[in-house]
């Protein structure tokens, strides 16, 4: 396991994991690297959300339908008229694997929002969309849910999918689809905060 890279927040001076840092500002005034809590305090000050109360959320371990344990980390972002909480696994210090988020009103109870996010994670972990037979992925049923990302290892504009918390290349996914040659399909894209 590689060491998590830490960056010093330019507001409070605390050293935080790089996935917790937001670079904010503009070309005229310059940019600053802020930890999540300092970023949220700045947004609260600028948008008049004086009652917004941020807190650190400790990682949570949840078990999926195959009995595997997944450790989820959380980050809260106040984005003006909405607040989001992200849940993600870490691989080599970066968000990877299962990831999801939820959005709410800045006046909402953050613990209630966190509870809804954990429920969403449990639903996500309750189903396996692909099976791995002889190291080759196969579509388990007729529905696949996942996340679209960028594939740094492929040439051109090639997506990398995360399905069941595992990376699946576009080539692997296209081979899985050939099992259904001649069938019809419907592709729906959802905002990360929506429930697919």
* pLDDT at residue 155 tops 80: no
What's the chain's average pLDDT? 90
Report the percentage of the chain scoring pLDDT > 70.
98
Listed residue (110, 97, 90, 112) closest to 64, CA to CA = 97
Q: What is the mean pLDDT of residues 50-62?
A: 91
Predicted local distance difference test score (pLDDT) of residue 1? 45
Q: DSSP assignment, residue 28?
A: T
Listed residue (94, 117, 89) closest to 104, CA to CA = 117
- Three-state secondary structure call for residue 106: coil
Cα 19 from Cα 2, distance rounded (Å): 14
pLDDT band at 196 (very low <50, low <70, confident <90, very high): low
Predicted local distance difference test score (pLDDT) of residue 136? 79
* pLDDT at residue 41 tops 90: yes
Predicted local distance difference test score (pLDDT) of residue 3? 66
Cα 163 from Cα 58, distance rounded (Å): 25
Report the percentage of the chain scoring pLDDT > 90.
55
**Cα dihedral value 195, 115, 72, 69, nearest 10:** -90
2-21 per-position pLDDT tens digit: 567 899 999 999 999 999 99
* pTM of the shown model: 0.84
């Amino acid at each position: 396991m590689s060491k998590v890279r830490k960056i010093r927040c330019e507001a409070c001076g605390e050293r935080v994991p790089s996935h917790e840092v937001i670079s904010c500002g503009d070309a005229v005034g310059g940019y600053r690297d802020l930890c999540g809590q300092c970023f949220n305090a700045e947004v609260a000050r600028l948008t008049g959300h004086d009652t917004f109360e941020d807190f650190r959320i400790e990682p949570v371990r949840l078990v999926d339908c195959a009995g595997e344990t997944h450790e989820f980390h959380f980050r809260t972002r106040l984005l003006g008229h909405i607040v989001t909480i992200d849940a993600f696994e870490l691989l080599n210090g970066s968000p990877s694997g299962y990831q999801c988020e939820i959005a709410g009103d800045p006046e909402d109870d953050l613990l209630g929002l966190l509870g809804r996010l954990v429920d969403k994670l449990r639903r996500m972990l309750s189903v396996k969309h692909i099976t791995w037979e002889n190291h080759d992925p196969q579509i388990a049923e007729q529905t696949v849910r996942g996340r679209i990302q960028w594939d740094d290892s492929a040439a051109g504009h090639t997506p990398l999918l995360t399905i069941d918390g595992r990376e699946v290349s576009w080539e692997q996914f296209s081979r899985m689809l050939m099992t259904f040659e001649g069938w019809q399909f419907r592709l729906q894209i959802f905002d990360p905060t929506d429930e697919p």
